Amino acid sequence: MKDDRGLYYYPVSSNSSVKMYVRKVGDDICFRLWKPDDPQMWEEHGWTPYEAIKQAAAMYEAKTSNFDPLNAYDIKIAEALVKGDR
């Protein structure tokens, strides 16, 4: 899907107001989260390359957590969106 901010998908299937935006910068796929209840997050946090997300995900593996960053930041969906937008 695409809107004025760019290409996006819904990282939380039960909440279509939260959007994960994706774009390709050079060879990197980058992500940026939009939450309508926290619009400042968009301004304060820039685009995050997938490699940085993988590094952060490794920290979650060491803890017990219900959040899996690699599910929310889905590289396969992002690649398909970017490829389909060409």
Task: Report the pLDDT value the prediction gives residue 28, as an integer from 0 to 100.
Answer: 95
Task: Report the pLDDT value the prediction gives residue 57, as an integer from 0 to 100.
Answer: 83
- In contact, 49 and 27? CB cutoff 8 Å: no
Task: Report the pLDDT value the prediction gives residue 7, as an integer from 0 to 100.
Answer: 98
Q: How far apart are CA 71 and CA 86, in angstroms?
A: 24
The model's pLDDT over 18-77, given as tens digits with 9 standing for 90+, comes to: 999 999 999 999 999 999 999 899 999 999 999 999 988 887 665 655 667 888 899 999
Domain boundaries, the chain: 2-84
- In contact, 85 and 2? CB cutoff 8 Å: yes
Task: Report the pLDDT value the prediction gives residue 56, as an integer from 0 to 100.
Answer: 83
